[in-house]
């Protein structure tokens, strides 16, 4: 999206102030040489035929060099769908057609060899590429080789940084960079990460970029106060130390703030979408403006250069969907360059040139300065007083959950494709493929997709893309499960288990339940399936009866079958379920209690935990950890903020991007909850009904060390004309001194302080919204002794606005647009109005807390996949008996190791990523923060690794030959360790380290 850009594609044209010529800067220019002469001059620059920085243009060492970066910002869906943007459909909504942009740019680059352009979004570029003739492709290859077309970032999309999980970021970057690597080799490898539009920047994103081998990173948006301070201190460019665990410079990333977000300077927008005056260089024309323009430009460049430390500065010449008529931009920039540089003969010390982010970075690197170091992140983002972009952390919660669930399913799909090989792709169920879901997931990472900031019809399209991606993965799953189990069943996945709907289990008297576990360790999982009434017999893979229970869900009339499943690492267990009686069973169910009765205290309990509820309100009152003798008063309830529609202080309304409550104090959804208790041997639940649109089940299964809060919110009533932003809040007496903690993209943890920013003296204008941070997987508070952690099942905004309190925004429904371009109120329609989700609550001692939340977050992210089948399928192998249990691993991974990626990479190649999931010093209780050594030989049961190559994080460079530009941070020089010899028998993982491998493999014959 573009900040404040207006619909109908007039965003950039809005900035209309005329190019001014202050008289003191106006002087007579010399007659201009023919343009062709200038071309020849510039053509003579050396080193035009090598890859990387060698193709960069020559600069003037003793002048201020202004690097013009010609670029287009092409959102992978926002006001229009991906396809509407690509083809240029619905230009009445927004004038934008990416295919024409690329056609036009290539012609313009060919017309003049000094011109350069960068392209960013591979979702669009790869599509365009596949539609070109061989001849055009050859021309484009040569432009890339010469550095005239440079790829920046190179992900499938320019991903959001607040609502994304690191696993999905790594996947989407891998997809885009792989296309570039396959198509252009090393010539096409982006050196620079380019996140010019995302609305705030996470530290984990910087760490991932560093690990992917990027030399530097440029972005556009940061808090307006932060930007002012940085300009004053000349800290617009610095080294970002993006990990507290990885040894520098592994996660150090040179980072630059662009001067003008990503737009051209005022008055210099020469796109068909803009209204600025072109360069008129014929002195006889009454419209002649060349002289004024030159003087304005020189003034502009000098002023801008003052905020940066080298004699180089950058100007972003382009914006949203610009360059559809690239000639307009380039023709005017050709003239500008020529005219401005002509002034050097008159003593001007400004040199302007066509450049790229990589070439600009290269000059900064050569300046050999010592740079200041940043250690926190760039959240939250505010573009003015009262304008905090913290609403999108929670916008469209149903889409955010669907994205996270699809991540889970994609990993299952990838793993089975890797474990089984080609039999997963072509088998009895047809052609199975992980690629469509992989692409759909990549699209969802775009900064207007999972962020929830697109228009409604685009959000619907995103959901459709995910749904379409699930199909081929389900075929793959069936092929793989048939092969591994030896039985050709009619497998089916119930996609609607969250609303207790599943035809196979609800209508069959006998069926099988296949539970696949994508983790590198065995898991036990309570399986819950909707069933018709009756009694059921459940048998495990060894034909032993397992305890099971049918529970009636209060107020719905639905019944669910529960049984505990134990599933081996990276494998499955098959359970059989048989209905033995149609007698109506009854779980012990207490009827709703009358309001405020003096009834005994409600509580639920297992061997580790007890939770009690307030007898008057029905709210959660205490959590007790029995074996650790910890008790904490925890009150939990739902509240809502009344969304501001603007007031005397500011006309800023709450919207898809912006969160702005009309008052700091939230309003309780209800002062009490109607409660019902379900107590069985397999689950204990308190059902809380707060209002017609807000309810919750507080749940405890045997053996669990966490409390599960399954909330259901919606449709949020707005009949009173008040937009509402609903939170779940936990209040405790913990003395937290204004401090709380949130994860960064689901990985490392950052400390947050109320009304405080680590890098500048904050003038807080919004006491609530200005303290909201992205929560991708967890938020916690601690008094140093006890820690209360809440894990989320999707990205949400969260905060701690009072000591001992923490809150998460679960849903929002708004009646006004917030003026950031989307032009729609976040009302949502269809399934998005009604949202169900889970918060997992952990109470622990502070020093034991990391084990709990790290392992539980991993289990929540990669939950077991439940597949149903009627049974009685025919044999797959004809020889071997069907097997009801399988593990893809010959030995389990240690608890500190997360199998981040196991995916097909080629006909006989796999992509593997192993991750140490604990931070340095995070766990002292079980020593899980220490380095761990893996033996990859014979680790997997279905294939043998015949060759192993280590790569950078996105798998587009061998690690041994990868090198990054070296920078000197103010903290002192860092040593660049040599890459040790790769020994598959001994792969060491340091805390928070991810190691990526491309493995050649041989699948084993059926045993």
What minimum distance in Å lies between the beta carbon of 1 and Zn ion?
A: 4
Contact of 444 with 465, CB cutoff 8 Å = yes
Distance of CA 644 to the CA centre of its chain: 28
The yes-or-no answer on residue 197 being catalytic is yes
Q: What is the DSSP letter of 770?
A: G
711 three-state secondary structure: strand
Smallest distance, Å, CB 69 to Zn ion?
A: 16
DSSP class per residue in 798-853: EE--STTEEEEEEEEE-SS--SSS--S-S---GGGGSEEEEEEEEEEEGGGHHHHH
**Total residues in contact with Zn ion, by rule CB under 5 A:** 3
Instruction: Give the Å distances, CA to CA, from 120 to 58, 159, 441, 921.
Output: 24, 11, 18, 38
Give the H or E element holding residue 413. Answer: helix 397-420
From the list 62-70, 191-199, 405-413, 540-548, the region that binds Zn ion by CB under 5 A is 191-199
| Phi/psi at 340 (5° precision) | -65, -45
DSSP class of 139: H
**What is the rounded CA–CA span in Å between residue 505 and residue 576?**
11
* 1 binding Zn ion? (CB under 5 A): yes
Residue length of the chain: 1007
CB of 75 or CB of 915, closer to Zn ion: 75
The least CB distance from residue 76 to Zn ion, in Å, is 9
Which one of 122-130, 195-203, 538-546, 977-985 is the stretch in contact with Zn ion (CB under 5 A)?
Answer: 195-203
- Which residue lies nearer to Zn ion by CB, 1 or 437? 1
Residue with Cβ nearer Zn ion (8 or 639): 8
Cα 497 from chain centre: 25
User: What stretch of H or E contains 1002?
Assistant: strand 994-1003
8 A C-beta contact, residue 388 and residue 844? no
Distance CA 178, CA 911 (A): 12
With respect to Zn ion, which residue has the nearer C-beta, 262 or 918?
262
Q: What residues contact 688, with CB distance under 8 A and at least 6 apart?
A: 618, 619, 673, 674, 675, 695, 696, 697, 698
Catalytic residue among 171, 197, 281, 783: 197
Only one of the segments 192-200, 289-297, 462-470, 812-820 lies at the binding site for Zn ion (rule: CB under 5 A); that segment is 192-200
Angle at 505 between CA 534 and CA 483, to 5 degrees: 135
Q: Quote the CA–CA distance of 509 and 326 in Å, as a whole number.
A: 66
CB of 643 to Zn ion, least distance (A): 24
For 443, how many CA atoms within 13 A lie in the half-sphere containing its CB?
27
- Provide, rounded to whole angstroms, the least separation between the CB of residue 617 and Zn ion: 45
Restricting to residues 58-117, name those near Zn ion by CB under 5 A.
75
**Closest to 708 measured CA to CA, from 547, 836, 523:** 836
Peptide bond into 380 cis (omega under 30): yes
Q: In the complex with Zn ion, which residue's Cβ is closer, 1 or 893? A: 1
Give min distance, CB of 447 to Zn ion, in A: 6
- Please state, in angstroms and rounded to a whole number, the distance separating the CA atoms of residues 197 and 654: 20
Nearer to Zn ion, 1 or 177 (CB): 1
Is there binding between residue 197 and Zn ion (CB under 5 A)?
Answer: yes
Residue from 268, 288, 259, 263 nearest 336 by CA: 268
Based on CB atoms, which residue is closest to Zn ion, 197 or 223?
Answer: 197
- Rounded least distance, CB 813 to Zn ion, Å: 24
With the CA atoms of 416, 420, 423 and 425 taken in that order, what torsion angle do they form, in degrees rounded to the nearest 10? 30
Considering the complex, state which of residue 219 and residue 780 has its C-beta at the smaller distance from Zn ion.
219
Phi, psi of 349 (to 5 degrees): -110, 30
The pairing of beta strand 674-679 with beta strand 588-589: antiparallel
Distances in Å between the Cα of 59 and the Cα atoms of 63, 232, 490 are 8, 26, 67
Q: How far is the CB of 820 from Zn ion (least distance, A)?
A: 11
Cβ nearer to Zn ion, comparing 75 with 281? 75
Residue closer to Zn ion, measured from CB, 11 or 714: 11
Secondary element (H or E) of residue 239: strand 237-241
CB of 685 to Zn ion, least distance (A): 43
* 955 touching Zn ion, by CB under 5 A: no
Task: Find the shortest distance in angstroms from Cβ 209 to Zn ion.
Answer: 18
Residues that are catalytic: 197
Binding site for Zn ion (CB under 5 A): 1, 75, 197
């Amino acid at each position: 999206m573009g900040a404040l850009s207006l619909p109908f594609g007039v965003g950039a044209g809005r900035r209309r102030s005329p190019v001014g010529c202050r008289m003191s800067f106006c002087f007579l220019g010399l007659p201009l040489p023919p343009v062709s002469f200038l071309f020849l001059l510039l053509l003579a620059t050396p080193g035009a035929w090598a890859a990387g920085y060698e193709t960069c243009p020559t600069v003037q060492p003793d002048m201020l060099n202004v690097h013009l970066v010609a670029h287009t910002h092409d959102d992978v869906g926002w006001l229009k769908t991906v396809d509407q943007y690509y083809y240029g459909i619905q230009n009445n909504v927004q004038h934008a057609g990416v295919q024409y942009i690329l056609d036009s740019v290539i012609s313009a680059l060919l017309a003049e060899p000094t011109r350069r352009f960068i392209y960013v979004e591979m979702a669009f570029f790869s599509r365009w590429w596949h539609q070109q003739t061989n001849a055009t492709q050859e021309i484009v290859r040569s432009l890339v080789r010469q550095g005239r077309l440079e790829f920046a970032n190179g992900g499938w999309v320019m991903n959001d940084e607040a609502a994304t999980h690191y696993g999905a970021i790594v996947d989407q970057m891998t997809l885009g960079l792989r296309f570039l690597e396959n198509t252009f080799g090393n010539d096409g490898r982006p050196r620079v990460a380019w996140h010019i539009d995302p609305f705030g920047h996470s530290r984990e994103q910087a760490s991932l970029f560093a690990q992917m081998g990027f030399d530097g990173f440029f972005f556009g948006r940061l808090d307006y106060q932060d930007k002012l301070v940085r300009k004053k201190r000349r800290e617009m460019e610095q080294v970002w130390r993006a990990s507290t665990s990885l040894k520098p410079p592994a996660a150090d990333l040179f980072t630059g703030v662009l001067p003008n977000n990503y737009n051209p300077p005022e008055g210099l927008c020469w796109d068909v979408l803009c209204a600025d005056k072109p360069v008129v260089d014929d002195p006889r024309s009454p419209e002649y403006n060349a002289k004024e323009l030159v003087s304005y430009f020189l003034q502009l460049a000098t002023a801008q250069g003052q905020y940066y430390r080298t004699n180089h500065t950058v100007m972003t010449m382009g914006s949203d969907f610009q360059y559809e008529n690239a000639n307009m931009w380039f023709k005017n920039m050709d003239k500008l360059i020529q005219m401005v540089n002509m002034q050097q003969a008159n003593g001007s010390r400004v040199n302007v040139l066509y450049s790229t982010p990589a070439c600009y970075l290269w000059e900064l690197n050569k300046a050999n300065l010592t740079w200041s170091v940043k250690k926190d992140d760039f959240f939250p983002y505010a573009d003015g007083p009262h304008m905090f972009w913290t609403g999108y952390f929670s916008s469209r919660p149903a889409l955010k959950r669907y994205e996270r669930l699809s991540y889970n399913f994609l990993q299952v799909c990838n793993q089975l494709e890797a474990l089984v090989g080609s039999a997963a792709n072509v088998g009895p169920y047809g052609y199975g493929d992980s690629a469509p879901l992989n692409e759909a997931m990549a699209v969802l990472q775009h900064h207007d997709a999972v962020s929830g900031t697109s228009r409604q019809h685009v959000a619907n399209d995103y959901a459709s893309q995910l749904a379409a991606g699930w199909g081929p993965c389900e075929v793959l799953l069936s092929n793989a499960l048939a092969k591994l189990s030896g039985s050709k069943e009619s497998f089916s996945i119930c996609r609607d288990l969250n609303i207790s709907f599943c035809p196979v289990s609800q209508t069959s008297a006998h069926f099988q339940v296949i539970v696949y576990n994508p983790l590198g360790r065995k898991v036990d999982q309570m399986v819950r399936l909707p069933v018709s009434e009756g009694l059921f017999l459940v048998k495990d893979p060894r034909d032993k009866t397992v305890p099971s229970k049918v529970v009636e869900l209060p107020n719905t009339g639905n019944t669910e079958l529960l049984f505990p499943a134990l599933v081996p690492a990276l494998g499955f267990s098959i359970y059989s379920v048989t209905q033995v009686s149609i007698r109506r069973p009854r779980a012990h169910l207490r009827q709703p209690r009358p309001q405020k009765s003096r009834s005994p205290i409600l509580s639920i309990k297992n061997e580790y935990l007890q939770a009690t509820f307030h007898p008057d309100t029905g709210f959660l009152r205490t959590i007790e950890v029995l074996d650790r003798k910890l008790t904490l008063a925890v009150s939990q309830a739902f509240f809502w903020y009344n969304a501001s529609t603007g007031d005397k202080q500011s006309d800023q309304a709450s919207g898809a991007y912006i969160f702005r409550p009309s008052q700091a104090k939230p309003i309780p959804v209800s002062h009490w909850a109607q409660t019902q208790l379900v107590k069985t041997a397999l689950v204990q639940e308190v059902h809380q009904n707060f209002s017609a649109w807000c309810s919750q089940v507080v749940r405890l299964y045997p053996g669990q060390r966490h409390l599960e809060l399954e909330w259901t919110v919606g449709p949020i009533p707005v009949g009173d004309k008040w937009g509402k932003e609903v939170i779940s809040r936990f209040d405790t007496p913990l003395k937290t001194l204004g401090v709380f903690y949130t994860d960064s993209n689901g990985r490392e943890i950052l400390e947050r302080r109320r009304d405080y920013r680590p890098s500048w003296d904050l003038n807080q204008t919004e006491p609530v919204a200005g303290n909201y941070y992205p929560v991708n997987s967890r938020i916690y508070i601690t008094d140093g002794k006890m820690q209360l952690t809440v894990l989320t099942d999707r990205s949400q905004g969260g905060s701690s606005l009072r000591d001992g309190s923490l809150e998460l925004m679960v849903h929002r429904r708004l009646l006004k647009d917030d003026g950031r371009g989307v032009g729609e109120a976040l009302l949502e329609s269809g399934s998005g109005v009604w949202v169900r989700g889970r918060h997992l609550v952990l109470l622990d001692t502070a020093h034991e807390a990391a084990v709990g939340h790290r392992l539980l977050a991993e289990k929540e992210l990669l939950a077991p996949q439940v597949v149903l089948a009627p049974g009685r399928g025919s044999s797959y192998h004809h020889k071997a008996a069907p097997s009801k249990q399988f593990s893809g691993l010959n030995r389990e991974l240690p608890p500190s190791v997360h199998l981040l990626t196991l995916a097909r990479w080629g006909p006989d190649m796999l992509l593997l990523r192993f991750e140490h999931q604990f931070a340095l010093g995070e766990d002292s209780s079980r020593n899980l923060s220490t380095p761990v050594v893996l033996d990859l030989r014979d680790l997997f049961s279905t294939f043998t690794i015949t060759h192993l190559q280590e790569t950078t994080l996105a798998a587009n460079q061998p690690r041994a030959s990868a090198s990054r530009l070296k920078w000197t941070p103010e903290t002192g020089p860092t040593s660049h360790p040599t890459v040790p010899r790769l020994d598959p028998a001994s792969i060491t993982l340091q805390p928070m380290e991810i190691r990526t491998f491309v493995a050649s493999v041989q699948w084993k014959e059926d045993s």
